[in-house]
Amino acid sequence: MILDWRIMATAFGMVFLAELGDKTQLAAMLLSAESGNIWSVFLGASGALVLSTLLAVTLGAALTRLVPDHYIRMAAGTIFVVLGALILLDR
């Protein structure tokens, strides 16, 4: 397995920007403020993000063996558009 630094940097940037201000970040801030134990919160939240990312990558790799890539992209794009519309329409 060879690491592709461009893909790794893209994944880092996308996840980092997506997580900023997310409810996960707010929960981590609340837990660290309440507990005063920032290292426990950091390690717990980091472990959860690593595990959820591992699941997503593993399922994504398995899915691409069963479904052609362009169908996955179309489905993901459609889901993002629908969720975006729902968020915009929710008042």
Instruction: Output the tens digit of pLDDT for each of the chain's 91 residues.
Output: 788 999 999 999 988 888 887 888 889 999 999 999 999 999 999 999 999 999 999 998 999 999 998 999 999 899 999 998 998 998 6
The alpha-helical segments, DSSP class H, found in 20-68 are: 23-35, 38-66
Distances (CA, A) of 22 to 8, 64, 75, 89: 21, 28, 23, 20
pTM over 0.95, yes/no: no
How is residue 90 written in tokens? 């929710």
For residues 41 and 25, the answer to whether their CB atoms sit within 8 Å is no
Cα gap 34→83, rounded to integer Å: 32
Q: Which residues contact 25 (CB under 8 A, 6 or more apart)?
A: 19
